Homo-oligomer: A and B are copies of this chain.
Amino acid sequence: MSQRFGKTLVLDSAPSITSYSAYVGKKEGEGPLSRHFDHIYSDTSCGQESWEKAESLMQKECAANTLEKAKLNASDVQYIFAGDLLNQSISSTYGLREMDIPFIGLYGACSTMAESLGLGAVFVDAGAADNCLCVTSSHFCSAERQFRFPLEYGGQRTPTSQWTATAAGSAIVGKSKEAPFVRAVTFGAITDMGIKDISNMGAAMAPAAASTIKQYLDDTGSKPEQFDLILTGDLGELGGALLLDLLGRENIDISKQHSDCGLLLYDKDSQNVDAGGSGCGCSASVLCSYILTRVKENVLNNILFIATGALMSTVSVQQGETIPSVAHLIHISNTNR
């Protein structure tokens, strides 16, 4: 049973992440985390006829690999929690439609990995499931043409823009005595500080991350020093700086613990990603490879994973709206006590 402290759910049974997998594109495979991924596709189409189908395939293959690593069949998994950036979440629905597992579709933009892990952990903790499969993805080409410009147009990118990762991440939340454990979940409320620049997602999302992190620390009476890593995804360089500034105003200093998935996935200097990576697949693939392995190996003991989502659409932007954002937090630990 979960215990509620303010807006934070502390999961007494400490569900564990029993398997995880990350499938990424060529560019992501050339970045600093290269050797940690389960699969690197050699081209962005993944052999498919369209980028949308390529993204679906990434989710499908990544999810299948996660089950295989856990030695589970689809019938051992009670629920899929999945979503992505594409209109009507077609990467997830088409990618996972053949699994024959009850499907709970999500939309949290780039916060989806934390949203799905949080829901899966609550379900397992409550006894509503033994195993939940949590999946998300993004694809540079499908996202860019949906949200911004046709790729052929070759539009110039601003320095504040972030590079949508071509990647899928997937994890099974279940029960085992082995780390990593999900110890707590804080689902965030929507914040909207009036940012309108679609090429500055980091600034739009930083207030949501700050709000959810403060909420968790207040709820649990924890200090940043108790964590080896406070990992946001994906604020990039600008959003990350804003996050430190916003928390600083609340006398919370996470500068020693903070890192961002958008800065870990790529070599910013040589890979031309401007302010860093983004997209559901960015934080998902960084978490479901390098990070969870470091927890498993006891290199990291306690981490906070905060995935952030910008909740606009092309229509809302064209109608002059600001960009609402949300951030969900997961406390992951190498111990269940």
Cβ A97 vs Cβ B192 within 8 A: yes
Cβ A189 vs Cβ B49 within 8 A: no
Cβ B126 vs Cβ A93 within 8 A: no
State whether A190 and B128 are in contact (beta carbons under 8 Å apart), knowing that A83-B107, A315-B90 are contacts in the complex. no
- A187 contacts the other chain (CB 8 A): yes
Contact partners of A86 in chain B: CB under 8 A: 313, 315
Query: In the complex, how many angstroms separate the beta carbon of A4 from the nearest chain B beta carbon?
Result: 7
Question: A89 to B311, alpha carbons, bound, how many Å?
Answer: 8
Cβ A1 vs Cβ B87 within 8 A: no
Cβ A109 vs Cβ B88 within 8 A: yes
- A176 contacts the other chain (CB 8 A): no
Residue of B nearest to A126 (CB): B126
Contact partners of A52 in chain B: CB under 8 A: 315-316, 319
> Which residue, of A50, A83, A93, A321, has the highest number of chain B Cβ atoms within 10 A?
A93
- The number of times this chain is found in the oligomer is 2
Residue of B nearest to A103 (CB): B190
Cβ B87 vs Cβ A88 within 8 A: yes
Contact partners of A41 in chain B: CB under 8 A: none
Cβ A324 vs Cβ B93 within 8 A: yes
Contact partners of A119 in chain B: CB under 8 A: 104, 119
- We find that the number of chain A residues with CB closer than 8 angstroms to chain B is 60
Question: A4 to B79, alpha carbons, bound, how many Å?
Answer: 13
Partner of A311, one of B90, B127, B319: B90
Cβ B115 vs Cβ A324 within 8 A: no
Cβ A312 vs Cβ B90 within 8 A: yes
Residue of B nearest to A85 (CB): B88
Contact partners of A96 in chain B: CB under 8 A: 190
Cβ A106 vs Cβ B106 within 8 A: yes
A184-235 residues with Cβ-Cβ distance < 8 A to B are: 186-190, 192
Contact partners of A128 in chain B: CB under 8 A: 2, 4, 9, 122, 126
A78-135 residues with Cβ-Cβ distance < 8 A to B are: 78-79, 83, 85-90, 93-94, 96-97, 99-109, 115, 119, 122-123, 125-129
Cβ B313 vs Cβ A100 within 8 A: no
Question: A94 to B312, alpha carbons, bound, how many Å?
Answer: 8
B-contact 0/1 string along A309-337, CB 8 Å cutoff:
10111111001010010100000000000
Contact partners of A53 in chain B: CB under 8 A: 319
A278-319 residues with Cβ-Cβ distance < 8 A to B are: 309, 311-316, 319
Residue of B nearest to A142 (CB): B315
State whether A319 and B122 are in contact (beta carbons under 8 Å apart), knowing that A107-B107, A189-B103 are contacts in the complex. no
- A26 contacts the other chain (CB 8 A): no
- A258 contacts the other chain (CB 8 A): no
Residue of B nearest to A7 (CB): B102
Partner of A189, one of B88, B100, B314: B100
Residue of B nearest to A130 (CB): B4
Measured CB to CB, the residues of A under 8 A from B are 1-2, 4, 7, 9, 49-50, 52-53, 78-79, 83, 85-90, 93-94, 96-97, 99-109, 115, 119, 122-123, 125-129, 146, 186-190, 192, 309, 311-316, 319, 321, 324, 326
Q: List 6 A-B contacts (CB under 8 A).
A: A52-B315, A88-B311, A93-B190, A94-B316, A104-B106, A106-B107
